Structure 1
Amino acid sequence: MSSARDRRVVCHRAGPLLRALPACLLVCLAIAGPWLAPHAVDAPVTAPFAEPGAGAPLGGDQLGRDVLSRLLAGGRELVLSALLIAAVVTATAALIGAVGALRPAVGRVVERAADVVILLPAVLGILLVGLSWPGGGRLAVVLAAIVLSLPYAVRLVSSAASLVAASGYVEAAAAGGERLRVLVVREVLPNLRATLLALFGLRFVEAVYVVSTAAFLQVGPQPPAADWALMIRENSPGILLNPWAVVAPSLVIGMLALSVNLASAALAPQSGRQAVTLR
């Protein structure tokens, strides 16, 4: 009976890790993809929109380039950009939200500023920044996505941090003369781990969609760069000739967003998930 109980405990603990495994594999594959591509991403190997064959398992794109090679090479920049956006937004929102919860005057100013920025649609804001930025590029998209995602994240963290700040041990520490930095780092943020983990997953998924949308509109990476969203845009005229040139990048974008969302939900405790749903 003891061994059966131990097995159940091990399975219970391993369950979240197993549900997070697909996301880890997809992220690692996207990052290592350019080294795994069987052909050069800019070299024609087939006829335009050729059907899948021996030399090109997913056929060719509009210029005869190997779809599989461009699929493997086209996810690294997207994944790294989404990870950067999610990490910066989560970390910044954690600090601002915790300070705002401990200092109500600061929190009111932050909320009013967030209300103003939230009025601007994210995609429209990214287009404005990307098109007006000298030279455009992915950096402009990343910076715009961080700025426009931050208000939502700050309001979420502020709501969760206000409950922690009102707890007895935080009030006791503040009454004991602890400095704001100590209260934020030692008292508030450690109790927001679940919320921040769930928030990171949501921000990553949103960043994937926002960066992909910008790339589809040719704000950021430009042809002939290998990029999943660009592949969809460039090959859509020949979808009836070789559907894989459009279907394959669409599938990996959806699978990446879905797997990361499931991973964050699996790793975050129930309390963190409930807090994020209040967004």
Structure 2
Amino acid sequence: MRRVLRDQDQATEVRINRLRVQRLRLLTVLPAVVVTLLAALGPALAPHAAETPVGIPFGQAGADAWFGTDRLGRDVLSQLLYGGWGLLLLAAVIAVAVTALSCVLGTIAALRPRVGMLIERATDFVMLLPAVLGILLVLTSWPDAGAYGLLVVALLFGTPYCARVFAAAAAGVAASGYVEVAQASGETLPHLVFREVIPNLREVITAQLGLRFVAAVYLVSTASFLQLPTTLGASNWAVMVRENASGMLLNPWAVLAPSLAIAVVAVSVNLAVTAFGRGERG
């Protein structure tokens, strides 16, 4: 009887731990979801048009402008709601592209060691070259690149390191018995990559996708803050920080609101990736 009760207590404890993990996942990802939804629905929710002045420059918060006004007298809240979707959408596209390419290259590197050596050399080179310098080189020499230029920068500087991570994760799968049997039976490299190895890298793909998204948010924000050629528009969050920095003492929300929006998305996605990873291992 005592053994049955002990087993029941253990089962109850396991269920409680699972509920805690699920709540942790929801709590960590909730801020990013809220900010993303506000960015997507922002133009419909904004009380004013993005470029319409509603008061004096750097005016204090009031009924017509909850976060006050910016350097041109525009509503900071409306600017915030208009300025997030382009940045987040481009960051998501970059994250998917870098993760997908890195996953394929890393898997090939695990199956073909010579490719792995090339990726290691590329990673060493990228780590020595600052990403900001790459942004300047690509976007200033290719002024009409816009979002495509940022995508090229992200692929050049993000893929080698990410592919190295995938290569390390895929090495164990490539050395397993069923992959060796598939190789011995003469299966092609695409079959080995897409049918045998990549389906077993789901956890790594999820983790890297989240991390690449955070890195892409910082990349796009940096390019916008430096006023390099992009197609994100004039009211994105990074541009708001740069243009309103001179009036931070007059209306801090003109700088703090977009800065907090970027930080909330980045930190929340990071915490969510960590929580999901722990949940899978648990």
Q: Is the 8 Å Cα contact of residues 143 and 229 (structure 2) preserved in structure 1?
A: no
Report whether the alignment pairs 1:11 with 2:10: no
Report whether the alignment pairs 1:147 with 2:156: yes
Other-structure match for 2:125: 116
Q: How far off its partner does 1:272 sit?
A: 7.8
Structure 1 window deviating more from structure 2 (165-174 vs 209-218): it is: 165-174
Q: Is the 8 Å Cα contact of residues 19 and 263 (structure 1) preserved in structure 2?
A: yes
Question: Deviations for 1:177-212, whole angstroms, at most 9, x for unmatched residues?
Answer: 222222112221122111111111111111111211
Partner Cα separation in structure 1 for residue 85 and residue 118 of structure 2: 38
- Out of 121, 127, 143, the residue aligned to residue 136 of structure 2 is 127
| Paired residue secondary structure (2:59) | coil
| Paired residue secondary structure (2:201) | helix
Partner Cα separation in structure 2 for residue 243 and residue 129 of structure 1: 33
Partner Cα separation in structure 2 for residue 11 and residue 43 of structure 1: 47
Other-structure match for 1:276: none
| Paired residue secondary structure (1:268) | helix
Matches within 5 A, 1:37-52: 37-52=46-61
Letter aligned with residue 93 of structure 1:
S
Matches within 5 A, 1:72-111: 72-111=81-120
Matches within 5 A, 1:241-256: 241-256=250-265
Q: Calculate percent identity across the aligned residue pairs.
A: 52
Q: How far off its partner does 1:6 sit?
A: 8.7
Q: How far off its partner does 1:4 sit?
A: 5.2
Partner Cα separation in structure 1 for residue 205 and residue 229 of structure 2: 28
Question: Deviations for 1:31-50, whole angstroms, at most 9, x for unmatched residues?
Answer: 22222211000010111100
Q: How far off its partner does 1:223 sit?
A: 9.8
Partner Cα separation in structure 2 for residue 164 and residue 23 of structure 1: 33
Residues 127, 272 of structure 1: alpha-carbon distance in 2 compared, 3 angstrom cutoff: farther
| Paired residue secondary structure (1:186) | helix
Question: Deviations for 1:221-241, whole angstroms, at most 9, x for unmatched residues?
Answer: 489711111111111111111
- Out of 193, 196, 199, the residue aligned to residue 190 of structure 1 is 199
Structure 1 window deviating more from structure 2 (154-163 vs 137-146): it is: 137-146
Partner Cα separation in structure 1 for residue 231 and residue 37 of structure 2: 24
Partner Cα separation in structure 2 for residue 263 and residue 5 of structure 1: 23
Partner Cα separation in structure 2 for residue 170 and residue 117 of structure 1: 31
Letter aligned with residue 134 of structure 1:
P
Q: Over alpha carbons, which structure has the higher Rg?
A: 2
Q: Is the 8 Å Cα contact of residues 223 and 230 (structure 1) preserved in structure 2?
A: no
- Out of 195, 200, 204, the residue aligned to residue 209 of structure 2 is 200
How many aligned positions are there? 273
Measured on the aligned residues, the alpha-carbon RMSD in Å equals 2.4
Report whether the alignment pairs 1:233 with 2:239: no
Residues 78, 60 of structure 1: alpha-carbon distance in 2 compared, 3 angstrom cutoff: same
| Paired residue secondary structure (2:99) | helix
Question: Deviations for 1:37-73, whole angstroms, at most 9, x for unmatched residues?
Answer: 1100001011110000000000000000000000111
Matches within 5 A, 1:49-60: 49-60=58-69
Letter aligned with residue 60 of structure 1:
T
Gaps in structure 1 of 5+ consecutive residues: 274-279
Other-structure match for 1:170: 179
Report whether the alignment pairs 1:23 with 2:32: yes
Residues 12, 240 of structure 1: alpha-carbon distance in 2 compared, 3 angstrom cutoff: closer
Partner Cα separation in structure 1 for residue 180 and residue 278 of structure 2: 25
Q: Is the 8 Å Cα contact of residues 105 and 163 (structure 2) preserved in structure 1?
A: yes
Gaps in structure 2 of 5+ consecutive residues: 1-7
Q: If the length of structure 1 is used for normalisation, what is the TM-score?
A: 0.89
Structure 1 window deviating more from structure 2 (64-73 vs 159-168): it is: 159-168
Segments of 4+ moved more than 3 angstroms: 1-7, 220-224, 269-273
